Amino acid sequence: MERSAALIVLFAALLAALFAAWTNPAAAQTAGASLDATQTAGRNLFAQHCVVCHVKTLVTAVRTYGPSLSKETLGGLDEVMIAFIGTGTSNMPGFKYSLEPGEIAQIVAYLKTLPAPPAAPANPAPPNPATPNPAAR
């Protein structure tokens, strides 16, 4: 009985890992994607500096702090991406003092390999009428 319970837990963990990789473009990219040296270096820098805010790393996480990044981020313009990463915003630190310009360009080269996330549905599902509305009380 204990063995079957352990197998069920192992199977559930495997399914969760597969689901996380499937829903996350950065994690879904495999070694078979054949990145060049610049893109591979960018992937490593992305993992060190960007993943914490821009990738949903836990299956139980509701959202990320920053948006999902892809080849279409900021219109897909390399110069704009490089400037944005270097300068930052009020919600994101700039990396021009901690990364060399070439390293920022490597991150952008890696981002250009990531597919765009699927578009959000235009019309969200209507609320379930069986669910009570606490505001209506």
The total domain count for the chain is: 1
Domain CATH number, residue 79? 1.10.760.10
Residue 2 within a domain: no
Which residue, 111, 107, 110, is CA-closest to 73? 111
Q: What is the pLDDT of residue 22?
A: 45
Q: Are 83 and 94 in contact (CB under 8 A)?
A: no
Residue 86 within a domain: yes
Q: What is the pLDDT of residue 58?
A: 86
Residue 59 within a domain: yes
Q: What is the pLDDT of residue 5?
A: 64
pTM over cut 0.75: no
Q: What is the pLDDT of residues 104-137, one digit of tens each?
A: 999 999 999 999 988 777 776 666 666 666 665 5
Higher pLDDT, 113 or 16: 113
- Pairwise CA distance, residues 40 & 34, whole Å: 9
Residue 74 within a domain: yes
Q: Are 35 and 113 in contact (CB under 8 A)?
A: yes
Q: What is the pLDDT of residue 17?
A: 53
Domain that holds residue 71: 37-117
Higher pLDDT, 33 or 80: 80
Q: What is the pLDDT of residues 20-69, one digit of tens each?
A: 544 444 544 544 469 999 999 999 999 999 999 999 888 888 888 899 99
Residue 75 within a domain: yes
